[in-house]
Amino acid sequence: MKTTFETVIGLEIHVQLNTKSKAFCRDTNIFGLAPNSQVGPVSLAHPGTLPYPNKEQVFSAIKLGLAIDCQINSTSTFDRKNYFYADLPKGYQITQDQTPICIGGQIPIRIGNHTKLIQIHHIHMEEDAGKSIHDKLQGHSLIDLNRAGTPLLEIVTEPDLRSGEEVDALMSAVRQLVRYLDISDGNMEQGSMRCDCNISIRPTGSTTLGNRCEVKNLNSMRFAKKAIEYEVNRQIALTLEGKTIHQQTLNFNPSTGQTTPIRTKEDAHDYRYFPEPDIPPMVVSKSKINELKASLPQMPWVYEQAFLSYGLSQKDSILLAQDLDIAEYFEAFVSSYGQAIAFANLLINQIRPTLTGKILDYPISQEHLAHFLELINHKTINKSLAIKQLLPKMLEQPKLSPKELVKEFSTTRENNSEQLTEIISSIIAAHPDKVKAYQNGKKGLIGFFMGEVMKQTRGQADPALAKEGLLNLLG
């Protein structure tokens, strides 16, 4: 019998926080500024400088932990992770090794139409290194230390993921979550989120873990999926040849689509972790933790469930829960005015596509939007006309109620339909052959006539009215 294999993946996800200043000093924490312009003595590791923790980083970590049901360590400690690299001025990173701030927890991900819970091992705080640039100046490496000391959270999962698709779903869930919590922009392209993928395989049905390889620093989901696919195939091929998979740290090369070893287990780094002597154990009070808990928004998966329960499709529920401001706005509307499905359609198809700023700055009030939907419901105005003509009027004069605007509107609509009848009559008179063909059964010609009406009205005619008129006059 042919052996089949199961893929096993655990992630270490780095999230760059959007705090004003760096993790252990006052240097600004902004992406994209002139190289080496945000580097004070602490970032440069001048002798005698002292780090002090950034409380925004600590609060961000606790918020994320509370959002996914971690246990929060009210006392946590910092450690030094020592290694030598040119973009690491101190020669070590400050991280949390022994007692990280958050333990356990889980993140729900959506696979097709079921939900899977990914268990989290822990979340710890740390700082980023600087950035080495190897491709700008031939024969030289450039170093930008702006990123040195940037505050990070590292989310370490249990080996619960089974495919590139699940990895993708988890990264999207984390990005959505950190945006809901407003602790990071979650932008993978700018490096605000990256992950290390630990990958192993095992015979299907086995419950022991195989030897894993770790692909470092994946900063796009497309690359992560390719790296996983390549690595799984490589490991399966080795296993089928009867060879052992050696634990390795790998790089993914996007141009070849292959992974290549950086180092093997034998020459793995010994980071010589030890407690950071310059930062005493950090204690966060119960009341502060409770205060942070009370400040959390409702989670995206809770919104999604609520929207489903209002009768929305899964696709629309997901779409409306995507961003917190839209989810809150939609929820507020439904709790005041009901009409969930009609409002979801209006929001998704008409309001959101034309939005230039925040939804809260949308000029038309929710009350007026509710009246607008009522007018359609009560057939005071035809739906497509309401959307094409009444809604733009409401946008022009957001202070006026649609109930007022529709009055002025229905008179112009009558004028329009008289005009429209005139236009249709003249088109019919100008094409006697086509009219005859239509009446003899070539019903597809309705498209031609509609086209003519649209041409003559420069696209202004309401399609429903135009069609009605044409059908009447063509008999």
210 binds ligand ADP (CB under 6 A): yes
Amino acid at 231: E
Residue 207 vs 440, nearer CB to ligand ADP: 207
Angstrom distance (rounded) from CA 385 to CA 405: 13
Say whether residue 93 binds ligand ADP (CB under 6 A): no
φ, ψ for residue 200 (rounded to 5)? Answer: -140, 170
Interface stretch with ligand ADP, choices 151-159, 408-416, 442-450, 461-469 (CB under 6 A): 151-159
**Which residues sit opposite 14 in a β-bridge?**
154, 194
Given the complex with ligand ADP, which of 262 and 332 has the nearer CB atom? 262
Stretch that binds ligand ADP, among 23-31, 59-67, 207-215, 319-327 (CB under 6 A): 207-215
Is residue 7 at the binding interface for ligand ADP, with CB under 6 A as the rule?
no
Tell me how far, at minimum, the Cβ of 284 lies from ligand ADP, in Å.
24
162-201: contacts with ligand ADP (CB under 6 A): 198-200
Q: Which is nearer to ligand ADP, 162 or 383 (CB)?
A: 162
Measured from the CB of residue 7, what is the shortest distance to ligand ADP in angstroms? 9
Residue 236 binds to ligand ADP (criterion: CB under 6 A):
no
One residue of 44, 45, 103, 156 binding ligand ADP per CB under 6 A: 156
Closest separation in Å from C-beta 325 to ligand ADP: 32
Binding mask 26-55 for ligand ADP (x = CB under 6 A): ------------------------------
The residue range among 9-17, 67-75, 136-144, 460-468 that interacts with ligand ADP, by the rule CB under 6 A, is 9-17
- Binding piece for ligand ADP, criterion CB under 6 A, among 8-16, 255-263, 283-291, 439-447: 8-16
How many residues bind to ligand ADP according to rule CB under 6 A? 15
Q: Closest residue to ligand ADP, Cβ-based?
A: 10
Does residue 209 bind ligand ADP (CB under 6 A)?
yes
Distance CA 109, CA 342 (A): 28
Among 12, 87, 97, 229, binds ligand ADP (CB under 6 A): 12
Q: What is the 3-state secondary structure (H, E, C) of the chain?
A: CCCCEEEEEEEEEEEECCCCECCCCCCECCCCCCCCCCCCCCCCCCCCCCCCCCHHHHHHHHHHHHHCCCEECCEECCEEEECCCCCCCCCEEEECCCCCCEECCEEEEEECCEEEEEEEEEEEEEECCCEEECCCCCCCCEEEHHHCCCEEEEEEECCCECCHHHHHHHHHHHHHHHHHCCCCCCCCCCCCEEEEEEEEEEECCCCCCCCCEEEEEECCHHHHHHHHHHHHHHHHHHHHCCCCCCCEEEEEECCCCEEEEEEECCCCCCCCCEECCCCCCEECCHHHHHHHHHCCCCCHHHHHHHHHHCCCCHHHHHHHHCCHHHHHHHHHHHHHHCCHHHHHHHHHHHHHHHCCCCHHHCCCCHHHHHHHHHHHHCCCCCHHHHHHHHHHHHHHCCCCCHHHHHHHHHHHHHHHHHHHHHHHHHHHHHCHHHHHHHHCCCHHHHHHHHHHHHHHCCCCCCHHHHHHHHHHHHC
- For the bound state, the minimum distance from the C-beta of residue 70 to ligand ADP, rounded and expressed in Å, comes to 15
Minimum separation from the CB atom of position 213 to ligand ADP (A): 9
* Smallest separation (angstroms) from ligand ADP to the CB of 353: 39
Contacting residue, 96, 146, 150, 157, with ligand ADP by CB under 6 A: 157
Cβ–Cβ < 8 Å for 341, 377: no
Distance (Å, whole) CA 143 – CA 87: 6
- Candidate list 35, 40, 53, 159; residue touching ligand ADP; CB under 6 A: 159
Nearer to ligand ADP, 10 or 51 (CB): 10
- Decide whether 146 or 200 has the Cβ nearer to ligand ADP: 200
- Indicate which single residue of 26, 41, 85, 158 sits in contact with ligand ADP (rule: CB under 6 A): 158
Spatial separation of the C-alpha atoms in residues 235 and 243, rounded to whole Å: 9
Binding to ligand ADP by CB under 6 A, coded x per residue (else -) over 278-297, reads --------------------
Name the segment binding ligand ADP (CB under 6 A); options: 85-93, 152-160, 225-233, 298-306: 152-160
Residues contributing to the site for ligand ADP (CB under 6 A): 8-12, 156-159, 198-200, 209-210, 212
